Structure 1
Amino acid sequence: MGSTKELLFLGWLCMLGKCLSDCGPGFDDQCEDINECLDKPCGKYSNCSNTNGSYYCQCIDGFRNRLGKVNFTLDGQCIDIHECFDFDNICGPNANCTNLIGAYNCTCHFGYTNSSSHGNCTDINECSEAEDKKWDLCGEKGTCKNTNGSYWCKCSKGYTNYGNERTPCSKLDCDSYNGDGESAPSLGGLADILFMMRNSCLALSNPSAAGEGKTDGEALLEKLFTATETILSPGHLDSSEDVSGLLETVENAIMLIGPQLKHNRNKIETTETDAQIAVQRGETQPVGPVHLTSENATLDTDWATAAGTGPYPGFALAALLSYKNLEQSVNRSFHELTGLDKDGVKPSSFNISSKVVSVVVSNPSTQNLSKEVTITLRHLKVVNESSEASYVCAYWNEKGAWSTDGCRQQKSNDTHTVCTCGHLSSFAVLMALYPMKYSFGLQLLTKMGLTISLLCLILCILTFKFCRSIQGTRTTIHLHLCICLFVADLIFLAGISRTQPEGGCKFVAAMLHYFFLGVFTWMLLEGVQLYRMVVLVFNATIRPLYLYVTGYGTPLVVIIISAITRPSGYGTDQYCWLSLDNGLIWSFYGPVCFIIVLNIFFFIVTVWKLAQKFTSLNPDLSNLHKIKAFTVTAIAQMCILGLMWVFGAFLFNEGAIVEAYIFTILNSLQGALVFIMHCLLSKQVREEYAHFLACVCTTQKKRYSDLSSINPSSSSQSQVSIKWPHSRSQKQGSRSGQHTGESQI
């Protein structure tokens, strides 16, 4: 038993000895230390440190333990330290702090510098640096003064930086606002604007004035447009010089006022103008889009284009100015519009189709912009586009005329036109009107009608020349009236649209002028003759020489005077007729109106005298009825011919399709009218026609009888020999009737 207890005690002692010989946690079987850091037990943003039999963790710089411990053994205990909030003024007073993950960064204020990213920013001496690098920091006549973190420019007298201390000084030409200069506009109402701008300019250019005479930009802007309204309110401007003077003065004034404006966006509207002005200021050149809009126009550009290489950096201006009632004053001066042909046809006239707008920017190189600007203009009225008209983007040039150089139409619809321009000025949309292209039906009607008229006039000429029973003063007048009308219609048919060569077109226009005037002159002679026939009882005839001198000499005098005074008025680019632009057309319509008025007087007197004679005791009814018939036909002839040229006045205007058809129809009726009234309605002429036809038919029968009969009988020969004397007796009787006609009257 005792031995058993001893054995158990010895076993326990052995086990206790074995345990006492083990190395414990943190050691291996050989009792060597285990490096726990190899297993990365500390996680992110911390460092692991091994110890004998253990380890500990510490957060890296820029991080801290969640519980505020320095040493720890748990994972995920390190969080970022926000130095910018946790530490006051860590970057110093001249820098901005930016927190980073585990760190921070200091950014120096403008005007300060430091090579380190952790504060200690020091002032930059911009004046010395600019001098060393030979920079013109303050411009001509500007003195640089360094300040803590910045600088400012002091301008000499006559120079200004418009209150922007860190911009170069630019020279002010206050004399440009002097109304006494040679380039000053003649419009007297601009004196107030010039006086106001000159005072503002002088105040800006004199730093020692200490604010005397200076006015803020908004107040100056209001005064400018109030004065502009005073100029435009009475009505349209009289000359192109006045328009150019006003536009230039207002644009220069906006350039002077713009840098003095306090607000970045300014809008001012009066009864005559609507202005939208945007400005940008900054230490560097402004960037981004510019969009200005009003009721009548829209401007789209960008600040880089508006600023350009301006007189000072960090400032840009863009302005859109609309004139509400200026279009009537500039609806002229289209002589420089060239190269606008459409399908080989040049526009015949132009009309202003939008409000006039001015675009002003601070870029001094407005004649050569780096990028085109887009201007959208609203049409004055909705007009559906047709083949006879097109919209043109134009600007008012320095010569006081509209031009299209550098501007083009991007797109257009019924209400708006979008223009793109590589330079800036005052703009408007013009409607180019093209001459009417006559349809095939009108051309066919013209040719057919004039051909019929020419045939009828030939019959009239032959009748008046060879019909002896109606010979007299009136017949002579009718003969030469028909000759003039025949030649005029023939030239009109053959050459009215043949504009080349130019000399030939001028000749055609002159001949048409001459012979159409001749028609009216002979018509006047007919009215004079009717007057003499009813007033003068004896010797009512007019000597042929007097008729020829008056009928052909009077138009010749008019043509000679017209050709000497306005030679360029004969022939145009579209037709060979008198030009409608320089007033030459009145050398035709003036005499025509005078002749019509004079003939109306003669016809009134003639009708009045006829009425008196019809009511007399012993009226010669046959003669009176004959004169009455003559008067009615003459009045009808004058009405038709006069009415024709009433519509002829609109023939060469745009869109006159109805007038063209009426003119063509009436012109075609002229020959037929003369033939009907003076030939077919005359009993003597009808008898002559019947006698002539009878002779022709008898001759044909005789020839037929000679060819068909081998042995003609003597009775037929005797019948023929009896018939011709009878015919002669009729002819003699007819001639005797002549002496009872007009000669007896």
Structure 2
Amino acid sequence: MDLKRALLLLGLFLVFSESRNCYIGFERRNSSCVDIDECVTDPGLCGAYSKCFNTHGSYYCNCNEGFRSTTANFTATSEGCRDINECIEKTRECIDKDECKDVPDVCGTNTNCSNHQGSYSCKCHEGYSNYGNSQSKCTEMSCDHFESDTEDTPVKLKTLLALLRSSCESLRGPNGHQTGEQLLENLFTFTDELLSGGNIADGKMLNHCLDAVENSMRLIGPQLKDPVTRMETHNTIAEVAVTRNQTPPSGRVTLSTDSALFSTSWETVVGKSYPGFAFAALVSYKDLNSSSDLLHKMSNERSDDKETSVTYQLNSKVVTAVVSNAETKQLSESVTLVFRHVEERVESERVAYSCVYWDEIEGAWSGRGCERTESNSTHTVCSCSHLSSFAVLMALYPVQDSFDLVLITRVGLVLSLVCLFLCILTFKFCRSIQGTRTSIHLHLSICLFIADLVFLCGISSTHNQVACGIVAGLLHFFFLSAFCWMLLEGVQLYRMVVLVFHTTLKHLYMYLVGYGVPLFVVTISAITFPKGYGTDRHCWLSLDGNFIWSFFAPVCIIVILNSFVFIITVWKLAEKFSSLNPDLSKLRNIRRFTVTAVAQMCILGGMWVFGCFLFQEKGTQVALYLFTILNSFQGALIFIMHCLLSKPVRDEYCKLIRSICSPKEKKYSEFSTNQSSNSQQPLRSHQTTGESKI
């Protein structure tokens, strides 16, 4: 009885539970069970490459076309779908494609095409090459441009051309092999040796060098394996881009070195024919310059340069741009080159930039076919319709001196000449001041008088090259001579203080130093570099090859020696002033002599400190004005220091003026023939100084 009752209660419980819950795949809504759409509630239920389908109370998955389930029963717990290899699993069969028959001209002409399973290869006939790329078209290859029969070809260049010709010959045929990287390294090694001298003055030599690099890159470029190859040596840097594909490349290619950037399109690189590969190269030379003779030929292209003296110089590194397209004399699309300036200068009325290329026919830099599109102080952008070797040319136009500067120069020099002439008369005929120092001052004044006169009359005589050279030589000699006489004055002052009993310098020794040393320097300079005398702008020493230091080096040596002598002289003077029984009158005279000598050296030496900037292209206006003022008034300053500030000379001037103004007074002849003790005693020299009382 109890068992039946328990079974009844269990049945009632099950019926009651079913009425409260839903089966799997359903959910209760409003006291009824509704189907669940699993494909919506869980979008990634079937995994990738499959579709989900809902059913009443369940769902199922199907793989996309070309995919199959990774398990026998594709359910939500399976690992998804995988790709089907139709070539193996389907009934149809994959057959090798014969490119040699199906693809027209796949290897080009003069070649043997061999088909392989899944590929093909091209074997070139003799005289043709695909540069070791077995699936590139064979093109005709000529190695004649690597000949070096000319006698003027340098030995190092002949060696390089022989190596390149040997490599070229090895590529002409079915067994050609690649040696690109090694050839590029050899090319730059020889180029470094060729350009080690820096300046190439001969146009033929520059032709040989640039032509060899261009032809070498056409041989080497197709053999390089990497898409981009960059190589740098001591004097050369290059970047090469290579592409290999069945279809011609498109878009832009940009190459750069430390000094330039080259940008063009792949369509320009390829040209009309695409053999299955293409390359572009940019080569930059770190130390390749052109001589002034080659740069001056630029003036023939510009009519406005014929009446003005324009100085040209390269303001960028020279670069060579090469592409696989053989027809580069007239490109359908211009290429772009961006150059970094060697010297940062902003364009102005004195400075102008232009884009040039090396014209092998003319043997000079030319601007034809190249246009400057943009320029600032650091970079210039060029657009060229052909390819070659390029650079940025900087034209330096002479600027006319301002009116006030010319006026100061002319008025000051005339005043200086008058004062120096008075100094010469005073030192020659005023017997009360005669002595070794007076003789030195006389010759110093003569040298400065002649130098100022030549400077005033001939510094701008650039229209006559011979006359301009003579003017520059005279200025070189007399300005150096003036410094040598100043050195003699320092030596004489030293002897007056230290060597009391031997204070007179022999005139022969003075002439050897005062005129012999400058003559020797000028003679050696003229023999070494005769073109250094006279420039396009001034009749002075040229800046080329540091020739200006044939003047500044001796001047610096003299100023240093004189400074050393004056320091010792002042030191010895101080010792004598502190002695027990100093001869104060004599020491004060020597001290005054030393002060005027130092002031004189500072005036003339300081003038040429600013003179360093006078003939430079970028000298400051302040330095230019200071040099002009000191140069123009140095005669007046010498006259003031050695004549007007000297009491004996002033007394003689007063006597002369009184004799002129009053007929009863003595005539000017007594100025030089006075029989008083003041005029006679200095001829016998003082026992202690050997000089006059002055």
Could you state the TM-score of these two structures normalised by the residue count of structure 2? Answer: 0.67
Question: Given the alignment, which residue of 332, 355, 358 partners 2:320?
Answer: 358
Query: Does 369-378 or 574-583 show the bigger shift?
Result: 369-378
C-alpha contact 2:493 2:594 (8 A) present in aligned 1: yes
Could you say which residue in structure 2 is the equivalent of 1:138?
109
Alpha-carbon shift at residue 553 of structure 1 (Å):
3.3
C-alpha contact 2:431 2:672 (8 A) present in aligned 1: no
| Alpha-carbon distance in structure 1 between the residues aligned to 2:103 and 2:570 | 108
Alpha-carbon shift at residue 478 of structure 1 (Å):
0.7
| Alpha-carbon distance in structure 2 between the residues aligned to 1:563 and 1:362 | 51
> CA 1:489–1:483 in structure 2 vs 1: closer, same or farther (change >3 Å)?
same
C-alpha contact 1:406 1:422 (8 A) present in aligned 2: no
Residue 339 in 1 paired to residue 298 in 2? yes
Question: Given the alignment, which residue of 658, 682, 685 partners 2:646?
Answer: 682
Could you say which residue in structure 2 is the equivalent of 1:5?
none
Could you say which residue in structure 2 is the equivalent of 1:207?
174
Alpha-carbon shift at residue 304 of structure 1 (Å):
6.4
Could you say which residue in structure 1 is the equivalent of 2:356?
394
Q: Radius of gyration: which is bigger? A: 1
C-alpha contact 1:280 1:314 (8 A) present in aligned 2: no
Alpha-carbon shift at residue 734 of structure 1 (Å):
4.6
Question: Given the alignment, which residue of 583, 587, 592 partners 2:550?
Answer: 587
Alpha-carbon shift at residue 386 of structure 1 (Å):
0.9
Cα deviations by residue, 1:231-276 (Å, 9 ceiling, x for unpaired): 9999x9554689999977775565345546799xx44557885736
C-alpha contact 1:407 1:419 (8 A) present in aligned 2: no
Could you say which residue in structure 1 is the equivalent of 2:129?
160
Could you say which residue in structure 1 is the equivalent of 2:37?
none
How do 1:123-134 and structure 2 match up within 5 A? Answer: none
Question: Given the alignment, which residue of 340, 350, 373 partners 1:411?
Answer: 373
| Alpha-carbon distance in structure 1 between the residues aligned to 2:431 and 2:578 | 33
Could you say which residue in structure 2 is the equivalent of 1:64?
none
How do 1:551-570 and structure 2 match up within 5 A? Answer: 551-570=514-533
How do 1:615-630 and structure 2 match up within 5 A? Answer: 615-630=578-593
Alpha-carbon shift at residue 363 of structure 1 (Å):
3.5
| Alpha-carbon distance in structure 2 between the residues aligned to 1:722 and 1:536 | 40
Residue 461 in 1 paired to residue 415 in 2? no
| Alpha-carbon distance in structure 1 between the residues aligned to 2:543 and 2:569 | 37
Secondary structure at 2:500 match in 1: coil
Alpha-carbon shift at residue 157 of structure 1 (Å):
5.2
Alpha-carbon shift at residue 605 of structure 1 (Å):
3.2
| Alpha-carbon distance in structure 1 between the residues aligned to 2:104 and 2:265 | 37
> CA 1:125–1:339 in structure 2 vs 1: closer, same or farther (change >3 Å)?
closer
Identity %: 45
Query: Does 424-433 or 678-687 show the bigger shift?
Result: 424-433
Residue 538 in 1 paired to residue 524 in 2? no
C-alpha contact 2:447 2:479 (8 A) present in aligned 1: yes
Could you say which residue in structure 2 is the equivalent of 1:597?
560
> CA 1:697–1:261 in structure 2 vs 1: closer, same or farther (change >3 Å)?
closer
Could you say which residue in structure 2 is the equivalent of 1:481?
444
Secondary structure at 2:676 match in 1: helix
Alpha-carbon shift at residue 593 of structure 1 (Å):
2.6
| Alpha-carbon distance in structure 1 between the residues aligned to 2:566 and 2:411 | 33
How do 1:10-21 and structure 2 match up within 5 A? Answer: none
Question: Given the alignment, which residue of 666, 669, 676 partners 1:732?
Answer: 676
C-alpha contact 2:217 2:281 (8 A) present in aligned 1: no
Cα deviations by residue, 1:490-511 (Å, 9 ceiling, x for unpaired): 1111111111221111111111
| Alpha-carbon distance in structure 1 between the residues aligned to 2:604 and 2:416 | 13
| Alpha-carbon distance in structure 2 between the residues aligned to 1:254 and 1:598 | 57
Could you say which residue in structure 1 is the equivalent of 2:626?
662
Give the letter aligned to residue 524 of structure 1. Answer: L
> CA 1:304–1:339 in structure 2 vs 1: closer, same or farther (change >3 Å)?
closer
How do 1:406-555 and structure 2 match up within 5 A? Answer: 406=368, 408-414=370-376, 416-421=379-384, 423-538=386-501, 540-555=503-518
Aligned alpha-carbon RMSD (Å)? 5.1
C-alpha contact 2:280 2:322 (8 A) present in aligned 1: yes
> CA 1:320–1:437 in structure 2 vs 1: closer, same or farther (change >3 Å)?
farther
Cα deviations by residue, 1:588-626 (Å, 9 ceiling, x for unpaired): 223323322332333233223323322333222111111
Could you say which residue in structure 2 is the equivalent of 1:691?
655
| Alpha-carbon distance in structure 2 between the residues aligned to 1:268 and 1:208 | 25
Alpha-carbon shift at residue 448 of structure 1 (Å):
2.2
> CA 1:316–1:347 in structure 2 vs 1: closer, same or farther (change >3 Å)?
farther
> CA 1:126–1:160 in structure 2 vs 1: closer, same or farther (change >3 Å)?
closer
| Alpha-carbon distance in structure 2 between the residues aligned to 1:677 and 1:509 | 29
Which segments of 5 or more consecutive residues in structure 1 lack a partner in the other structure?
A: 1-108, 113-122, 128-135, 700-719
C-alpha contact 2:269 2:324 (8 A) present in aligned 1: no
Alpha-carbon shift at residue 468 of structure 1 (Å):
2.0
> CA 1:491–1:727 in structure 2 vs 1: closer, same or farther (change >3 Å)?
closer
| Alpha-carbon distance in structure 1 between the residues aligned to 2:206 and 2:294 | 17
Alpha-carbon shift at residue 183 of structure 1 (Å):
7.3
How do 1:288-327 and structure 2 match up within 5 A? Answer: 292=254, 296-300=260-264, 303=267, 307=271, 314=275, 317=278, 319-321=280-282, 323=284, 326-327=285-286
> CA 1:379–1:572 in structure 2 vs 1: closer, same or farther (change >3 Å)?
same
| Alpha-carbon distance in structure 2 between the residues aligned to 1:275 and 1:534 | 71
Cα deviations by residue, 1:518-546 (Å, 9 ceiling, x for unpaired): 21122122122222222333352234454
| Alpha-carbon distance in structure 1 between the residues aligned to 2:539 and 2:165 | 55
C-alpha contact 1:291 1:301 (8 A) present in aligned 2: yes
Cα deviations by residue, 1:368-401 (Å, 9 ceiling, x for unpaired): 44668433314348642112212132346779x9
Question: Given the alignment, which residue of 321, 336, 340 partners 1:379?
Answer: 340
Give the letter aligned to residue 280 of structure 2. Answer: A
Residue 632 in 1 paired to residue 590 in 2? no
> CA 1:208–1:542 in structure 2 vs 1: closer, same or farther (change >3 Å)?
closer
| Alpha-carbon distance in structure 2 between the residues aligned to 1:407 and 1:696 | 78
Give the letter aligned to residue 593 of structure 2. Answer: F
| Alpha-carbon distance in structure 2 between the residues aligned to 1:126 and 1:530 | 97
Cα deviations by residue, 1:556-608 (Å, 9 ceiling, x for unpaired): 33333333332222112211111121444333223323322332333233223
C-alpha contact 2:660 2:667 (8 A) present in aligned 1: no
Give the letter aligned to residue 359 of structure 1. Answer: A
C-alpha contact 2:254 2:262 (8 A) present in aligned 1: yes
Cα deviations by residue, 1:114-172 (Å, 9 ceiling, x for unpaired): xxxxxxxxx99999xxxxxxxx9724xx568999xxx9964235642344768444237
Give the letter aligned to residue 171 of structure 1. Answer: M
C-alpha contact 1:138 1:144 (8 A) present in aligned 2: no
Could you say which residue in structure 2 is the equivalent of 1:60?
none
Q: Whose relative contact order is higher, 1 or 2, with alpha carbons under 8 Å and at least 6 apart? A: 2
Cα deviations by residue, 1:438-466 (Å, 9 ceiling, x for unpaired): 32222222222222222221221222122
Give the letter aligned to residue 298 of structure 2. Answer: G
C-alpha contact 2:269 2:278 (8 A) present in aligned 1: no
